[in-house]
Amino acid sequence: MNAPLAERIRPKTLEEYIGQDHLIGKNGILSKQMNTGLIPSMILWGPPGIGKTTLANLIANKFDRPFYQLSAIQAGVKEVREIIESAKRNEGIFTTQNPILFIDEIHRFSKSQQDSLLGAVEKGIVTLIGATTENPSFEVIPALLSRCQVYILNSFDKEALNAILLRAINTDELIKKKQINLKETEALIQISGGDARKLLNIFEILVSDEAEKIEITNDLVLKKVQKNVARYDKSGEQHYDIVSAFIKSIRGSDPNGAVYWLARMIEGGEDVKFIARRMLILASEDIGNANPTAFILANNTFQAVAQIGYPESRLILSQCAIYLANSPKSNASYEAIGKAQELVRKTGDLSVPLHLRNAPTKLMKDLDYGKNYKYAHNYEHNFAEQEYLPDEISGTKLYEPGNNSRENSFRTFLKQLWKNKYGY
């Protein structure tokens, strides 16, 4: 009984599994696949505490498959190869008999570690089930991703979380001895952030009181639990608050704030690639052409931390954060694409002007495709004034240069070329 509540009430069959109806409900895409008797290698993608590990175990149990489990944080190529060799010796290569290899946090596997899985997955020696909280398009190598189905798991909604609480009250040997009244669950559910594991950990704190009768209220949750909630939870609300503070410090040109919030994330065990990815987005969104070198540095930072890992990558992250904070700021590119997309939504599929169209065939040339197009390099200063927008939106200005030295030079350049057409 020393196991956490989340472990004690873990479902033992797929029928007991709560949530993810789009996958394992009556008409779920994974249910339909399992009904054929064949289980593909797959990546389960979703936030923490939503049942990825449980689902992998239940699939193995349903088909009576041997089940191997590795954590990408602790395991390496050696452990992967040992399991594959064991599978070859003991299970054969028949699709209906091969074992399931479950790798938790597969996004933390390096390229070489993921490469070591390819042959076994392709030949059916093992069925791979990988679990990740990160977008597999970025974190799983293309060769392995192409051999797997990707299933997205969603955070539990209020109804599912309440159902999980009721299961704990009605089935757990320790808890069902008490008289528990779920009078209010809003605060409990909000703090859990859709994470069933976190929900049950908090609930266990609440009912650990020696009293036989316990009434769960929002006040009780806020008074008793807040002090026990982790100061930095990679899946919870504070995760997003701290990331927000980090980004806003850089945007606000405060390197001190940026480094402080960076340290909070590092000390909290945040994935260094997540931090680097956020800075890469910021370099384009908030700095842009005010200092294009910022984007290059941020991109190199992302590549470097992916190769180096923690703890050395903290130095690279710090250097990049300080550089970005000290860079001039401009969101002009961000604003421009937003305006352009909104214009497209409003005006629809406007025709491309004839002189801008490609004319690879004689028929197209006969229809005046490309006629009267002015090739810029044939003109003085490599510029020839002509229309580049559909007639219906001619003269629409979407890009407004930011007020910084580099983009002010852009403004001067554009004004000289386009005179008064766009109002530069």
Domain covering 344-418 in this structure, CATH number: 1.10.3710
Cβ contact 148:130 at 8 Å? yes
Domain with CATH 1.20.272.10 in the chain: 237-325
Q: Looking at residue 193, what is its pLDDT?
A: 77
Q: Looking at residue 246, what is its pLDDT?
A: 95
Reply yes or no on whether the pLDDT at 275 is more than 70.
yes
Q: Which CATH superfamily hosts domain 20-152?
A: P-loop containing nucleotide triphosphate hydrolases (3.40.50.300)
Give the other-Cβ count within 10 Å of 78's Cβ.
9
Beta strands 179-182; 213-216: pairing state: parallel
Question: How does pLDDT run across 329-354, given as a tens digit for each residue?
Answer: 999 999 999 999 999 999 988 999 99
Beta strands 100-104; 127-132: pairing state: parallel
Q: Looking at residue 130, what is its pLDDT?
A: 93
| Helix (H) or strand (E) segment spanning residue 42 | strand 42-45
User: Model's pTM, two decimal places?
Assistant: 0.57
Question: How does pLDDT run across 160-182, given as a tens digit for each residue?
Answer: 999 999 998 988 888 888 888 88
Domain with CATH 3.40.50.300 in the chain: 20-152
Taking the C-alpha atoms of residue 250 and residue 177, their distance in angstroms, rounded to an integer, is 52
Unique residue bearing structure tokens 């797997």:
148
Taking the C-alpha atoms of residue 89 and residue 93, their distance in angstroms, rounded to an integer, is 10
Question: How does pLDDT run across 220-261, given as a tens digit for each residue?
Answer: 888 777 554 444 555 555 667 788 899 999 999 999 999 999
Residue 63: half-sphere exposure toward Cβ, Cα within 13 Å = 24
CATH 3.40.50.1000 fits domain 158-228: no
Q: How confident is the model at residue 91 (pLDDT cuts 50, 70, 90)?
A: low
Determine which of 166-180, 203-217, 259-273, 289-303 has the lowest per-residue pLDDT on average.
Answer: 203-217
Taking the C-alpha atoms of residue 411 and residue 116, their distance in angstroms, rounded to an integer, is 53
Q: How confident is the model at residue 326 (pLDDT cuts 50, 70, 90)?
A: very high
81: helix, strand or coil: helix
Q: How confident is the model at residue 382 (pLDDT cuts 50, 70, 90)?
A: very high
> Looking at residues 73-100, what average pLDDT do you find?
74
| Fold classification of 237-325 (topology level) | Zinc Finger, Delta Prime; domain 3 (1.20.272)
